[in-house]
Amino acid sequence: MSMFPGVSLTALQQSLLFAHDVVARKQYDPVLLPLPQDLSGEQDSVKIVQLVKSKEPLGATVKRDEHTGAIVVARIMKGGCADRSGLIHEGDELREVNGIPMENKSLDEIIPIMAQSQGAITFKVIPGNKVEMETIKPKMFVRSLFDYNPNEDAEIPCKEAGLTFTKGDILQILSQDDTSWWQAKHCSVLNARAGLIPSRQFQESRRFSLKRPPALPPAQALRNCRSSSLRRSFRLSSRRRKTRRPTCGGQWSKHNDAVEVATYEEVVPYHRPPWAWPRLVLLVGPSGVGINELKKKLVLSDPQRYDVTVPHTTRPKKAHESDGVEYTFIPKYLFLTELVNNKFVEYGEYGGHFYGTSLAAVRSVLARNKVCLLDVQPQTVIHLRTPEFKPFVVYVKPPPLEHLRTTRRKAKLQSWRDEMGQMKTFLEEDFQEMVESAKAMEAMYGYLFDKVIVNDDLAESFLELQATLRKLETEEQWIPAAWMISRNIQ
Ligand SMILES: Nc1ncnc2c1ncn2[C@@H]1O[C@H](COP(=O)(O)OP(=O)(O)OP(=O)(O)O)[C@@H](O)[C@H]1O
C-alpha cells in the first residue's frame, strides 16, 4: 500500500518501502532478559540488576566476605562497564549471576562466569550498605617511581584488574578508597581503563618482601670523583685542567642523604611562566661518560640560552686568570664560613685548597634567564629538588661495554693526567668501572632521573639532549606538586 494517497508506486518502490518497514521494526539493542519470577521468598532488599556487557571486562572484582562467607563486590573499576551502569556498588552481595547461584561456588569458578558473559548479564544482588565517599581530590596525578607488573605480584587480589606501569609513567589516581589497592589509569593513553595498583602505604610496607633492586656494589663503585681528578663542575671554566682531585662533598642542605622509599610522587602540570627562572638542568652520570663534552657542546651551540656556573676556589689566582671567569677566588676563611652556612652545592679539597660550586653561582646563571647546566653527584640531586630550582635531571648513561670499547678508542680521560700532564686514554678497567658505577647509580637514584640519555654516539646524544631541553621551554611538564604548593623558597 502506498504511504502517499493518490500516488501510485512501482513494484520496486513498494518492495523498498516494505524492506524499510521490516528493518525499522527490528530491535537492534541487546535484549534484556525477563526478570526472574522467584523473588517472593527473598529478602526485601534483593535487587535484580541487568547490564549489557560488550567484550570489555565488567570492571569489577569480587571477594568472599570473611565473616559471612558471602560473595561480595570488592571493587568497581572507575570508568568500567559496571561503574558506568551505576547499578552495582562495592559491598553488594552477589547471589546469582545469569541465574547461576553463587552460593558454594569458589572465586575461581565465579570469575570465569562473569568474564565470559556477554550481552545481557543478570545479577541478583543484596545491596551493601557501604556509603560511597569521595576520599580523593578530583584529579590527582602521580609519577611512578618503580616498575610494576601485576602478573609478578602474588598479593594483588585480581591480576587481570592490575595496571602495568614503568618507572616515570604518569598515572591518574581515580580511587584511594581501598587502603592497599588504588585505582589508576595511564594519563598518556586516551580512554585508558582503570586498573589496580598497590597503594603508596602498601607498597612501602612490603618493600622488603618485594624484589629488591640489585644489591649495591661496594661503595667505591659509586664514586663519581676519580682519585686523581677534579670534579667536572669545579674545573669546567678552568682553561688548564687539574691533575688531582679534591674530595667531594656537599652539606648546604638541611636534608639528609637518606634515599626515600620510592613509590609514587604527586605531580602537577607545569609550564614556565614568563617571570619564572628556567628550570635548573642537572646532569648526572659516571665519571668519563661524557657529561663535560655534552655541556660544552650545549653552551657552544647557544651561549645565550645555556651557561655553566663559575666555581669558587681558595687557591691563589694565576697570572692569566681573572676573578669570576675561570674561578671566583675567595680566601679560605670565607670559603669555610660559606661552607658552614650551607652556601655550597658541592665542594672539595685538593692540595690544601678548596673548590666548590656555590648556590649563588647557580642563581646568578638563572637570574640571567639562562638554563644553568650543572653536573652533580646523584646524591646532591636530592638536596636541589626545591621549588626554587625545580631541577630537571638528565642521567647520562654509558652504552654497553662493547660500544664503549669501540666509541672511546681515541678518547682521552680529561680528568686524569699523568706526571707529565698528559691525559690518559681509557683502559679496559675504566670502562668496567664506568658501567659498574652506572648500575649502582641507577639502582640507588634512578627514581630521580627525568630523562635518560645513552651516550653511545656523541653527536646523537647531543641532539637528543638539545631537543629534550628545548621541550622544557616549550612544552608542559609534570613536576612534583610540592614544588608548586610550597612557598618556602630558600
Ligand atoms: N659518545 C662518545 N663517543 C666518543 N667519545 C666520547 C663520547 N662521549 C665523550 N667522549 C670522550 O670521552 C672523554 C671523557 O668525556 P668527558 O670529559 O666529557 O667525560 P666526563 O663524564 O665529564 O668525565 P669526568 O667525570 O672524568 O670529568 C672525552 O675525551 C670525550 O671527548
pLDDT at 419: 66
C-alpha closest to that of 447 among 265, 286, 270, 223: 265
pLDDT at 222: 39
pTM score, two decimals? 0.71
Are 308 and 409 within one domain? yes
- On whether residue 66 sits in a domain, the answer given is yes
Residue type, 199: S
Q: Are 30 and 52 in contact (CB under 8 A)?
A: yes
Among 54-68, 341-355, 419-433, the range with the most confident prediction by mean pLDDT is: 341-355
| 398 Cβ inside 6 Å of ligand 1 | no
- Report the distance separating Cα 94 and Cα 83, nearest Å: 16
| 224 Cβ inside 6 Å of ligand 1 | no
Q: What CATH number does the domain containing 440 carry?
A: 3.40.50.300
What is the extent of the structural domain holding 147?
A: 140-205
- On whether residue 215 sits in a domain, the answer given is no
Interval between CA 415 and ligand 1 midpoint (Å): 9
- Please check the confidence at residue 333 and state whether its pLDDT lies above 70: yes
**For the chain, how many structural domains are there in total?**
3
Q: What CATH number does the domain containing 176 carry?
A: 2.30.30.40
- Report the distance separating Cα 359 and Cα 342, nearest Å: 9
Are 287 and 407 within one domain? yes
C-alpha closest to that of 238 among 190, 308, 163: 308
- On whether residue 33 sits in a domain, the answer given is yes
- On whether residue 211 sits in a domain, the answer given is no
Please tell me the residue having the least CA distance from ligand 1 atom 14.
288
- On whether residue 210 sits in a domain, the answer given is no
Q: Which three cell numbers stand for residue 272?
A: 614556565
Q: How many CB atoms lie within 10 A of CB 315?
A: 16
Are 436 and 309 within one domain? yes
C-alpha closest to that of 369 among 311, 307, 310, 324: 307
- On whether residue 244 sits in a domain, the answer given is yes
Q: How many CB atoms lie within 10 A of CB 455?
A: 24
- Report the distance separating Cα 370 and Cα 488, nearest Å: 23
| 414 Cβ inside 6 Å of ligand 1 | yes
So what's the ipTM on this one? 0.97
Return the CA Rg of the chain: 32
On the 0-12 / 13-18 / 19+ scale of CB atoms within 10 A, 123 is buried
- Report the distance separating Cα 6 and Cα 360, nearest Å: 95
E strands present in 66-117: 71-76, 93-97, 100-101
Please tell me the residue having the least CA distance from ligand 1 atom 1.
458
Higher pLDDT: 26 or 85? It is: 85
CA distances from 122 to 34, 105, 128, 404, 478 (A): 10, 17, 17, 63, 43
Interval between CA 465 and ligand 1 midpoint (Å): 15
| 237 Cβ inside 6 Å of ligand 1 | no
State which of 231, 414, 427, 457 you would mutate to test the pocket of ligand 1, scoring each by most atoms of that ligand within 8 A of its C-beta: 414
- Report the distance separating Cα 414 and Cα 447, nearest Å: 29
Q: Which three cell numbers stand for residue 60?
A: 569489577
- Mean pLDDT for 360-369 is 97
pLDDT at 190: 75
Q: How much is the mean pLDDT over the chain? A: 81
Are 343 and 224 within one domain? yes
For helices 291-301 and 458-474, what crossing angle results, to 10°? 60
Interval between CA 426 and ligand 1 midpoint (Å): 10
Question: For residue 437, what is the enclosing H or E element?
Answer: helix 428-445
- Polymer length of the chain: 490
- Please check the confidence at residue 398 and state whether its pLDDT lies above 50: yes
- Mean pLDDT for 268-290 is 94
Are 156 and 122 within one domain? no
Interval between CA 277 and ligand 1 midpoint (Å): 29
- Please check the confidence at residue 316 and state whether its pLDDT lies above 90: yes
pLDDT at 81: 81
In Å, how far from its chain's centre is CA 394? 14
State which of 291, 292, 295, 405 you would mutate to test the pocket of ligand 1, scoring each by most atoms of that ligand within 8 A of its C-beta: 292
pLDDT at 388: 95
Q: Which of 89, 106, 132 is the last residue of a domain?
A: 132
- On whether residue 266 sits in a domain, the answer given is no
Q: How many CB atoms lie within 10 A of CB 336?
A: 14
Interval between CA 297 and ligand 1 midpoint (Å): 12
pLDDT at 237: 41
- Please check the confidence at residue 105 and state whether its pLDDT lies above 60: yes
| 458 Cβ inside 6 Å of ligand 1 | yes
Are 243 and 127 within one domain? no
Q: How many CB atoms lie within 10 A of CB 478?
A: 18
pLDDT at 22: 61
Interval between CA 411 and ligand 1 midpoint (Å): 7
- Mean pLDDT for 24-52 is 61
Q: Which of 132, 148, 169 is the last residue of a domain?
A: 132
- Report the distance separating Cα 347 and Cα 361, nearest Å: 13
Q: What CATH number does the domain containing 60 carry?
A: 2.30.42.10
Q: Which of 181, 205, 229 is the last residue of a domain?
A: 205
Q: Which three cell numbers stand for residue 294?
A: 655534552
Per-residue pLDDT tens digits for 240-264: 333 333 444 544 444 444 445 689 9
Q: Are 228 and 416 in contact (CB under 8 A)?
A: yes
- Mean pLDDT for 373-380 is 94
Number of H helices, E strands in the chain: 13, 23
Per-residue pLDDT tens digits for 111-120: 777 777 777 8
Which residues, in sequence order, are CB contacts of 128 under 8 Å at separation 6+?
72, 73, 89, 90, 91, 92, 93
- Report the distance separating Cα 109 and Cα 314, nearest Å: 76
| Sign of the torsion formed by the C-alpha atoms of 284, 481, 167 and 217 | positive
Interval between CA 173 and ligand 1 midpoint (Å): 42
Are 446 and 379 within one domain? yes
Query: Cell 545481557 maps to which residue?
Result: 120
Which residues, in sequence order, are CB contacts of 361 under 8 Å at separation 6+?
309, 310, 311, 312, 328
pLDDT at 80: 81
- Report the distance separating Cα 219 and Cα 227, nearest Å: 14
DSSP-based helix, strand, coil % in the chain, nearest 5: 30, 25, 50
Query: Cell 694565576 maps to which residue?
Result: 318
Which residues, in sequence order, are CB contacts of 487 under 8 Å at separation 6+?
387
Are 319 and 463 within one domain? yes
Interval between CA 278 and ligand 1 midpoint (Å): 26
Question: For residue 372, what is the enclosing H or E element?
Answer: strand 371-375
- Report the distance separating Cα 245 and Cα 477, nearest Å: 37
Instruction: Determine the atom of ligand 1 nearest the C-alpha atom of 224.
Output: 25
Instruction: Determine the atom of ligand 1 nearest the C-alpha atom of 295.
Output: 18
- On whether residue 213 sits in a domain, the answer given is no
Are 191 and 248 within one domain? no
Instruction: Give one DSSP letter per residue of 129-185, joined into a string.
Output: -PPP---S-SSEEEEE-S-B-GGG-TT-S-GGGB--B-TT-EEEEEE--SSSEEEEE
| Sign of the torsion formed by the C-alpha atoms of 353, 357, 359 and 364 | positive
Instruction: Determine the atom of ligand 1 nearest the C-alpha atom of 457.
Output: 1
Instruction: Give one DSSP letter per residue of 56-75, joined into a string.
Output: S---EEEEE-TTT--EEEEE
Among 13-17, 40-44, 140-144, 235-239, the range with the most confident prediction by mean pLDDT is: 140-144
pLDDT at 489: 37
Strand-pair partners of 25:
none
Per-residue pLDDT tens digits for 170-229: 999 999 988 999 999 998 887 778 899 999 999 988 875 544 444 444 334 434 444 334
Are 148 and 59 within one domain? no
Are 280 and 410 within one domain? yes
| 424 Cβ inside 6 Å of ligand 1 | no
Please tell me the residue having the least CA distance from ligand 1 atom 11.
411
Are 113 and 165 within one domain? no
Interval between CA 361 and ligand 1 midpoint (Å): 24
Query: Cell 582503570 maps to which residue?
Result: 194
Per-residue pLDDT tens digits for 193-204: 889 999 999 998
What 3-state DSSP class applies to 446? Answer: helix
Higher pLDDT: 313 or 56? It is: 313
